[in-house]
Amino acid sequence: MSAPLKLMAVHAHPDDESSKGAATMARYVAEGVEVLVVTCTGGERGSILNPKMDRPDILENMGEVRRQEMAKAREILGVEQRFLGFVDSGLPEDENEPLPEGCFALQPLETASAPLVAAVREFRPHVILTYDDNGGYPHPDHILTNRVSIEAFEAAGDPDRYPGTGEPWQPLKLYYHMGFTRERFEALHDAMTARGIGSPYGDWIARWEDRPQKWDVTTRVPCAAYFETRDRALLAHATQVDPDGFWFVCPREVQEEVWPTEDYHLARSLVDTALPEDDLFTGIHAEVAPTCS
């Protein structure tokens, strides 16, 4: 027998884990991989994005509601999950608007990274998933999530850094989520149009020059069999996800046929691998030491 493979996904808020890489995680859980979602903030300053849930009592207790939603999504995906305990920064309407005092995005890098380094050293993942250096989109919490993920990847194996946060552990690969690419949305748009289904993606594609793609896709993980699990996890975040909204506008069967993968950019690797990949653990399986003979 060999030690189990381990995957850690680092996210900014509850619901991010269900909208980015959820089917990938569900697939690996089914295959026996241990998966931990680390959520940097509690999502306390999130807006109610599902009009069916727009009630004052929810808004007044947003932090607790979002924890309850996270618990449901965690159970659906079959993953472990922990909060790092930082406070949601919110999304300013104006880039010049100051962020709330004490929020996650205003934390010094070492302060924000220390609990993640501790989590890495305790869980001992082989692979870490996070956002790109623009946060996937420029939310201040997402941008800092990228920075703390890189810091933890580079520091967790160094015994001289972050003393008091556990025994050193070096992850082997770090990936960025690449779910929002022009290629994917063009494929879904063309498929919906060919089937006579109204597509909402035309305007997005027309404006894509305003959103140049910095990182290429290196890794496509087949996981269409788990899109249904992904959708149920998304719906568990009822304050954030409208069942009649954006996430479900493209029929699942079209997604399964046209784009049956979730996609990533390999940002760091300490093992040999050949690109493109179809498995986040390519090059790692042989590295996992046996636990018994």
- Binding region for Zn(2+): 13, 16, 142
Rounded to the nearest 5 degrees, what angle is found at the Cα of 23, between the Cα atoms of 19 and 27? 155
Q: Helices 22-30 and 62-77 meet at what angle, rounded to 10?
A: 40
Contact in structure between 290 and 2 (CB atoms under 8 Å)? yes
Q: Give the C-alpha separation, 214 to 184, whole Å.
A: 15
Q: Give the C-alpha separation, 230 to 224, whole Å.
A: 10
Q: Give the C-alpha separation, 221 to 54, whole Å.
A: 36
What backbone torsions phi and psi does residue 195 show, to the nearest 5 degrees? -90, 5
Q: Say if strands 6-11 and 261-269 run parallel, antiparallel, or are unpaired.
A: unpaired
DSSP-assigned letter for residue 13:
S
Exposed/middle/buried for residue 90 (C-beta within 10 Å: 0-12, 13-18, 19+): buried
Instruction: Mention every residue, 6+ apart, whose C-beta is less than 8 A from residue 137.
Output: none
Binding residues: 13, 16, 142
CA dihedral 19, 24, 26, 31 (to 10 degrees): -170
